[in-house]
């Protein structure tokens, strides 16, 4: 959900900034950079948590620095299903959801 809301807000911010630039000719593109900077650490935290769900260490995030193939490999890793049982990083969120009947 974090990435979904992040993309929706980023697209909305881009549209608003584009309209403001066209209407007032004032360049406010630094707000987009400020938004990206504000979500840099939370984005890394969400990625590491997703890797922990599949019993991988957060250091796998560094694979994204490999040109071209690194981002694809990281995308594959985060799209894989997490472990159904508890792992070394804590309880399984899949098990927690099934125990509560889908409610949090």
Does 87 share its domain with 53? yes
| 19 and 69 assigned to the same domain | no
Among candidate residues 67, 47, 69, the one with its CA nearest the CA of residue 57: 47
Domain assignment of residue 84, given as a range: 40-104
- Position 86 scores a pLDDT of 83
Do residues 27 and 64 share a domain?
A: no
The pLDDT score that the predictor gives to residue 98 is 65
Q: Which pLDDT score is estimated for 100? A: 65
Shared domain for 2 and 15, answered yes or no, is: yes
**Residues 30 and 64 grouped into a single domain:** no
Query: Domain check: are 28 and 70 in the same one?
Result: no
Q: For residues 23 and 52, state if they share a domain.
A: no
What pLDDT score was predicted for residue 104? 54
Q: Give the relative orientation of helices 30-38 and 40-53 as an angle to the nearest 10 degrees.
A: 40
Residues of the chain with pLDDT under 70: 95-104
For 34-59, b where at least 16 C-beta lie within 10 A, e where not — what string?
Answer: ebeeebeeeeeebbbebbbbbebeee
Q: What is the pLDDT of residue 102?
A: 57
Please tell me the predicted confidence (pLDDT) of residue 32: 87
> Both tokens of residue 57?
């260490």
| 32 plus 58 within the same structural domain | no
| Residues 70 and 87 reside in one and the same domain | yes
Domain count, the chain: 2
Q: Are residues 20 and 44 in the same domain?
A: no
The whole-model pTM stands at 0.75
Residues 32 and 79 in one domain: no
Enter the DSSP assignment of 66: S
Distance, C-alpha 92 to centroid of its chain: 19
């Amino acid at each position: 959900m974090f990435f979904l809301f992040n993309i929706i807000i980023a697209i909305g911010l881009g549209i608003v900034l584009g309209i403001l630039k066209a209407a007032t000719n004032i360049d406010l593109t630094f707000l987009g950079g400020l938004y990206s900077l504000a979500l840099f650490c939370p984005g890394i935290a969400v990625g590491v948590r997703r890797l922990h769900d599949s019993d991988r260490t957060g250091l796998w995030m560094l694979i994204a620095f490999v040109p071209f193939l690194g981002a694809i490999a990281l995308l594959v890793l985060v799209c894989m299903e997490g472990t159904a049982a508890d792992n070394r990083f804590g309880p399984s969120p899949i098990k927690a959801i099934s125990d509560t009947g889908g409610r949090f």
